[in-house]
A and B are shown apart, each in its own frame.
Chain A
Amino acid sequence: MGNYQNMQAVKQDESGINLKLLHAAIRFNSMILGLTGGTMAALIIYFATQVSLGKWGADSGNYLGLLAVFFPGYSVSPAGAWIGAFWAFLYIGVFSSLSYRLYGKVLGTRISEILLSTTPTENPVLKPSIMRLHGMSLGLAIGAMAGLGLFCSTAWLVVRGTAEESVHAALLANYIPGYSVSILGGLLGAAELFVLAFVGCLLLAAVYNKVVAMRHG
């Protein structure tokens, strides 16, 4: 009996949240978001490749083909479309999944903030409530992952020794002042992209929550 009470004490934190359930919930939704993001990215790459092939035929692939730097085996060809879809699913799936994990971690026990503003239903299975977004947590999660993604991409170009030739990646400096295809430039770019993504997520969450409030009260 004493052990059972200890387990109950471990299971819940001081605010009374069932942490085991909360962590399982975050893992479940991170998997779903990974599938969602990965599938959408795969479809986009597949159809972009097919459209490029249909429009320019043998001449296609000048710019889209640059994806081969990050997608080994990719080319603007029918087989390449499937390979590109695979890599896009993998990269964006992992990105989305990790983003949700981070979102859940940042939101953590403050889940009550979005729960209390919704109407938690007694039967979440048959009558689900409407999701609201927590802009700050979303911004921190997506911003951090986007920044990490840019830094890793830049570092990869440096490591493979093609930094000097990466003129297209360097064009990002138009939007991210100070960015360059170098480790230092990648760090600076990551920090700036974090801020841009953070602001973008705040806007996304604000508009989404506003429309939800208008439609569902």
Chain B
Amino acid sequence: MTRPIQDHEILSAVFAKMDALALTLASGVLGAIILILATSILLLQTVPENYPVGPHLSLLAEYLPGYSVSWSGVMVGGVYGFLIGGLAGFAAAVYWNIAHYVALGVMLISSAELAD
């Protein structure tokens, strides 16, 4: 039989901190896989002779120097994907944690004012 969930356990879940390093790594891995797959899928498609492969995805090179829709570009894309995904994950975790602290602070101040 499962025990009843206490209120403080729900509050623990609500105000639980995001592990910034864990989300950085997880988002980085996901970002790397997405860019590796996105490039590889285009490379594995059969295209007519002299037909450009992935001309639109290649435009990423404007933002990611060294990237191209090629097998060497797959590895470069993987590194960029990891960096961009990781950066996004880190920013999301930090923002999430700060937003919770700010919200908590506001709530504590409000409740203190109400108590007065």
Measured CB to CB, the residues of A under 8 A from B are: 12, 15-18, 21-22, 25, 28-29, 32-33, 35-37, 39-40, 48, 51, 55, 63, 109, 111-112, 114-115, 118, 120-122, 124-125, 128-132, 168, 171, 174-175, 200, 203-205, 207-209, 211-212, 215-216
Q: What is the CA–CA distance of A17 and B9 in the complex, to the nearest angstrom?
A: 10
Give min CB distance, B91 to chain A, whole Å.
6
Measured CB to CB, the residues of B under 8 A from A are: 2-19, 21-23, 25-27, 29-30, 33-34, 38, 41-42, 45, 56, 59, 62-63, 88, 91-92, 95-96, 99-100, 103-104, 108
A–B complex contacts, Cβ < 8 Å, 18 sampled: A17-B4, A17-B10, A32-B100, A32-B103, A36-B96, A112-B5, A124-B16, A128-B12, A128-B17, A130-B16, A130-B17, A132-B16, A200-B30, A203-B26, A207-B22, A207-B25, A208-B19, A211-B25
Q: What is the CA–CA distance of A138 and B112 in the complex, to the nearest angstrom?
A: 36
Q: Is the interface of A mostly helix, strand, loop or mixed?
A: helix
Nearest A residue to B16 by beta-carbon distance? A131
Give min CB distance, A207 to chain B, whole Å.
4
Given contacts A18-B10, A21-B7, A39-B95, contact A203 B33 (CB under 8 A): yes
CB–CB A203/B29 < 8 A: yes
